[in-house]
Amino acid sequence: MTYDLMRILVLNPNTSADMTGLVMRVLEPLTPPGVRLKPATGRFGARYISSRSAGAIAAHAALDAYAEHGGDCDAVYLACFGDPGLFALKELASVPVIGMAEAACRRAAALGDRFSIVTGGERWGPILTEFVASLGLSEALASIITVAPTGGDIAADPEGSIALLANACRQAAERDGAGTVILGGAGLAGLAARVQSLVNTQVLCSAETGFAAVLDALHGPTDKPSRGDLAFPAPVPSTGLSKHLAELMSSAPRIA
């Protein structure tokens, strides 16, 4: 496929620039000619999201980053598994917004078999169960397996994490009946191919799968709804927000 100078905002609402760099290193070799990646890291919040409270703050950080950096972009890739702020971004943005977890789950479900998610951080189990339900994919979900290290820990020591992740993938297939396993999380970006060599079930990299969905969206973006859910919200005054986000909230259609 060919692209005519299109820009993708790669938005990481974690506040770790190292995590943003990891995702960029995985995506850059997959980026076709004519596409430019514009990274943005959360300006405030947790270094790595591993709880509901951190995720709630990250949703605000995602909106803040889009308001500041999204004005010249043709699509937004919310490059954080769990997709904090996903539907709010879809509402405020005038361009396609693709979430890493959203795209990976939809792709895994489309493959036909039930799927599992393997990720780092014990608190992600119920959070992701609710997220999959919000996508209407609960019946396709075989299990969610969380390993003790967080995604940030895994990113810091990928070599020491491969065997642990492979064991979790085998458990998902053999115990839970998963035909596909998603390695979920920015901190796990780029590890799926190495884990795949150690297991018999299909393993998807959430970062790579999400990016493929963003590229597809550039070729066939859906029209922004003019009314109803995910249409631009009515302009509203605000207090305490950043300049860019306050301006966006007071006149959402300005960003294009």
Average pLDDT over residues 47-59: 94
Question: pLDDT for 14-46, tens place per residue?
Answer: 999 999 999 999 999 999 999 999 999 999 999
Q: Give the integer Cα–Cα distance in Å for 144 and 241.
A: 35
Q: Tell me what the mean pLDDT of segment 182-192 comes to.
A: 95
Contacts of 33 (CB under 8 A, 6+ apart): 2, 3
pLDDT given at position 147: 94
Burial of 242 (0-12, 13-18, 19+ CB in 10 A): middle
Per-residue pLDDT, 214: 96
Reported residue count of the chain is 256
Percentage of the chain with pLDDT > 70? 96
- In terms of DSSP bridges, do strands 141-147 and 115-120 run parallel, antiparallel, or are they unpaired? parallel
pLDDT at 253: 62
246 CB-side CA count, 13 A: 7
Read off the pLDDT of each residue in 72-79 and give the average, rounded to a whole number.
Answer: 96
| pLDDT band at 249; cut points 50, 70, 90 | very high
Long-range contacts of 199-202 (CB under 8 A, 24+ apart): 199/166, 199/169, 199/170, 199/173, 200/170, 200/173, 201/169, 201/170, 201/172, 201/173, 202/111
**Phi, psi of 116, rounded to the nearest 5 degrees:** -120, 160
Specify which residues 76 forms β-bridges with: 9, 97
State the amino acid at position 179 in one-letter form: G
Residue 2: pLDDT band with limits 50, 70, 90? low
Mean pLDDT of all residues in 248-254 = 75
- pLDDT at residue 76 greater than cutoff 70: yes
Identity of the residue numbered 194: R
Alpha-carbon distance 117 to 206, whole Å?
Answer: 10
- Dump pLDDT digits (tens) for 77-105: 999 999 999 999 999 998 999 999 999 99
